[in-house]
Amino acid sequence: MSSPCVSHHHQVRLRAGGRLPAPAAASFAPPAALRGRRRVARAAMSAEARPGVAPAEEGAATPGQQQALLAEMVENAAVWCAVHGLVVGDRANQRSGTVPGVGLVHAPFSLLPARFPASFWKQACELAPIFNELVDRVSLDGEFLQAALSRTKQVDEFTARLLQIHEKMMPINKKEDIRLGLHRSDYMLDSETNSLLQIELNTISSSFPGLGSLVSELHRTLLNQYGKILGLDPKRIPQNWAATQFAEALGKAWAEYNNDSAVVLMVVQPEERNMYDQYWLVNHLKESYGVATIRKTLAQVEAEGQVLTDGTLVIDGRTVAVVYFRAGYAPTDYPSEVEWRARLLMEQSSAIKCPSISYHLVGTKKIQQELAKPNVLERFLDNKEDIAKLRKSFAGLWSLDNEEIVKSAIEKPDLFVLKPQREGGGNNIYGHDLRDTLIKLQKEQGESLAAYILMQRIFPKASLTPLVRGGDWFEDLTISELGIYGAYLRNKDKVILNNQSGYLMRTKVSSSNEGGVAAGFAVLDSVLLTDE
């Protein structure tokens, strides 16, 4: 969002009732008990109010009391994170991404949950099983995927390599009996249209089911203790079972494979500061289903793996029932041919892939744009009500072949987002950079236009929010993005699971265009349902 950032020190007065509407620029603000000073990080906790802050109302806490309460909440929250495993590896410690238990720091989080209208929450949850079914249906149409991405692959080497594997696997993919998807569909509330609009659909490495679940519990704990003072009801925070439900899907897929000695293979990056989010799933799998998990990089899979003549995938002597990708979604995950050989090896096996190469391709930006075209959803879904629900959530999506839209984007770049075929955060293009990129692409002509799609920019309302990172707290105007997880498991004609499986709320400073927590752009958050 392009709105200017409001000063930490003045201009916005904090109002009662949670992250509620503040004058003009902000739609939400912390409660009256936290009213008083705004600060960056941990400046001295003087009780003296800064210029521009309204005086406390009669009977309200003094600024010093307000600051003491906030400091107490931050400290209690940080302790809760440490005790309950809401942690990531510290960027300042070089070993934190490779050695478990070294260099831990709490995950960045919002101190209070984000207000979210219950009607839009219900809408987002109801979309999950429909999107799950859509992914499965589209994945079976290999010709559609190849044709839709045929121009993209000419200018995007990463997509081309994925399509090469997919083309080799097309005859096998159609015959794969067991298909598992763990997805996340991301949304924002658009203030211009007062509607819930989809940002993207993630079909590979949908992160934070573990830590996202914990933030909901953290906020519920804080509101159980401070809710009366803040005027916030902890019962308004919906339960978030993302970690247990993802583990359930993996466990049931493992059971369908029907080999008690087999393991789940989690494919991970060589350095992973977010490993503890992954270990929550590992622990749930072991404790609830008795399933062992092994963690391997793509390079390790290539070195230690083999596919037997019957299709069995064996890694370091252990039979693999399910391959769960928490890596492999970005070009940087494939620095050499070794990693590509590993990906092909796993695809050629009879192990259940989460996702398969076809599921992976369904989640690309270009396929998202293709599915938004008129009459395309009807190719894959029969239920008219389901189609209407999906279409209602689609933002404007266009290929760069649409000269009229490209012209509009050059003239008014702040109304659009330019998206390449990339996952993981930090890749989208905005504002003046968007205009310059489009002008350059127009001059170049050729197939380079096919590497991108244009998307309508969504403008959510901003909130004044207390954020905590590295033990320090600060306040800023923020916007939030709701991700709804979905789990889908099918064996031949039998759908074993098709569920909405928890959620992820991410909040970022409104002056930031990107929103990835792991990429350093956002903090973890949870939902406080409202009747608005």
Give binding residues for substrate as ranges.
184, 204-207, 272-274, 278, 326-329, 506, 517-518
Q: Which two tokens stand for residue 267?
A: 């494919």
Overall size of the chain counted in residues: 532
d(CA 343, CA 331): 13
d(CA 458, CA 396): 10
Is residue 184 annotated as part of the catalytic site, yes or no? Answer: yes
Is residue 402 annotated as part of the catalytic site, yes or no? Answer: no
- Going by C-alpha positions, the residue among 29, 30, 27, 50 that lies closest to residue 39 is 50
- Going by C-alpha positions, the residue among 507, 445, 493, 436 that lies closest to residue 208 is 507
Of 110, 132, 185, 207, which residue is the catalytic one?
Answer: 207
Distance of CA 185 to the CA centre of its chain: 8
Is residue 252 annotated as part of the catalytic site, yes or no? Answer: no
Annotated binding site for ATP: 200, 365, 419-428, 430, 455-458, 481, 508, 514
Q: What values do phi and psi take at 127, rounded to 5?
A: -75, -25
d(CA 473, CA 38): 10
Q: Are 348 and 307 contacting, i.e. CB atoms less than 8 angstroms apart?
A: yes
Preceding amide of 355 cis, omega within 30? yes
Other CB atoms within 10 Å distance of the CB of residue 253: 28
Of 423, 435, 486, 499, which residue is the catalytic one?
Answer: 423
Of 184, 353, 435, 461, which residue is the catalytic one?
Answer: 184
Strand partners, 183: 486
Of 396, 424, 431, 470, which residue is the catalytic one?
Answer: 424
SS3 call for 305: strand
Of 179, 236, 365, 490, which residue is the catalytic one?
Answer: 365
Is residue 365 annotated as part of the catalytic site, yes or no? Answer: yes
Q: Which two tokens stand for residue 99?
A: 């050695």
Annotated binding site: 184, 200, 202, 204-207, 272-274, 278, 326-329, 365, 419-428, 430, 455-458, 481, 506, 508, 514, 517-518
Of 506, 510, 515, 516, which residue is the catalytic one?
Answer: 506
Is residue 375 annotated as part of the catalytic site, yes or no? Answer: no
Of 96, 139, 142, 200, which residue is the catalytic one?
Answer: 200
Give the pairing of strands 313-315 and 318-325. antiparallel
Annotated binding site for Mg(2+): 200, 202, 423
Other CB atoms within 10 Å distance of the CB of residue 58: 5
Of 38, 252, 419, 461, which residue is the catalytic one?
Answer: 419
Of 110, 185, 202, 240, which residue is the catalytic one?
Answer: 202
Give the pairing of strands 26-28 and 462-469. parallel
Contacts of 208 (CB under 8 A, 6+ apart): 242, 274, 277, 504, 517, 524
Q: Are 454 and 409 contacting, i.e. CB atoms less than 8 angstroms apart?
A: yes
The 8-class DSSP code of residue 364 comes to S
Please give the helix or strand (H or E) that residue 489 lies within, else none.
strand 472-491
Contacts of 172 (CB under 8 A, 6+ apart): 348
Is residue 366 annotated as part of the catalytic site, yes or no? Answer: no
| CA-derived radius of gyration, the chain | 24
Give the pairing of strands 452-456 and 416-420. antiparallel
CA distances from 279 to 208, 272, 363 (A): 11, 11, 25
Is residue 506 annotated as part of the catalytic site, yes or no? Answer: yes
User: What amino acid positions are annotated as catalytic residues?
Assistant: 184, 200, 202, 207, 365, 419, 423-424, 506
